[in-house]
Amino acid sequence: MRKTFPTALLLVALLAGGCSHGKKKSVLDTTCPKPPSTASAGNAQISARALGASYAKKVVIHATEKSNGAPVHDGKVTIYAQMSCPHYMRLYQQKLKETAPGTYKSPYQLVMPGTWAFYIVLRAKNGDATTSALPVTVKAPGT
């Protein structure tokens, strides 16, 4: 006598698993995530820009106290870049230099076209930390 029950049960399970009323994502799903928020989390307000064409960027950060608008002087600012689309890639951490009270700058080299974000951490003299992000889209040269 043949044992068809386990085989039939397996076939039903496979067919039922393939049926779905919702939208299925493909293994090769190319949908990009939403860019990160640029809101500042902490006691400082951070505004940031990435200047420059193509991959070579100059990141400029302005930091002020949320309580009174005064520049955050002598802070420690670090950034790193992370690509979210078409691939995931995290790059190196870079310290920024203060060039004027509350203004911090540094060059940063991205490596390929895509959807990137600079993640920013500011540590004030008193130890308070503020975080923010700066979304950046890099297009291939000539496009």
Specify whether the CB–CB gap between 139 and 85 falls below 8 A: no
CA distance 109 to 65: 29
The pLDDT assigned to 61 comes to: 98
Structure tokens at 130: 């503020």
CATH number of 44-138: 2.60.40.1930
The token pair that represents 8 in the structure block: 């039939």
The pLDDT value recorded for residue 12 is 40
pLDDT at res. 30: 64
- In sequence order, what are the residues at sequence separation of 6 or more whose Cβ sits closer than 8 angstroms to the Cβ of residue 100? 71
Angstrom distance (rounded) from CA 38 to CA 119: 9
pLDDT tens, N- to C-terminus, the chain (143 residues):
455 544 444 334 434 444 444 445 445 556 889 999 999 999 999 999 999 988 999 999 999 999 999 999 999 999 999 999 998 999 999 999 999 999 999 999 999 999 999 999 999 999 999 999 999 999 988 77
* pLDDT confidence of residue 21: 47
Contact between 121 and 78 under an 8 Å Cβ cutoff? The reply is yes
To which H or E segment does residue 17 belong?
Answer: helix 5-18
Closest by Cα among 63, 130, 69, 70 to 98: 63
User: What pLDDT is attached to residue 27?
Assistant: 53
Report CA-CA distances (Å) from 61 to 38, 45, 50, 103, 131.
Answer: 12, 10, 9, 6, 12
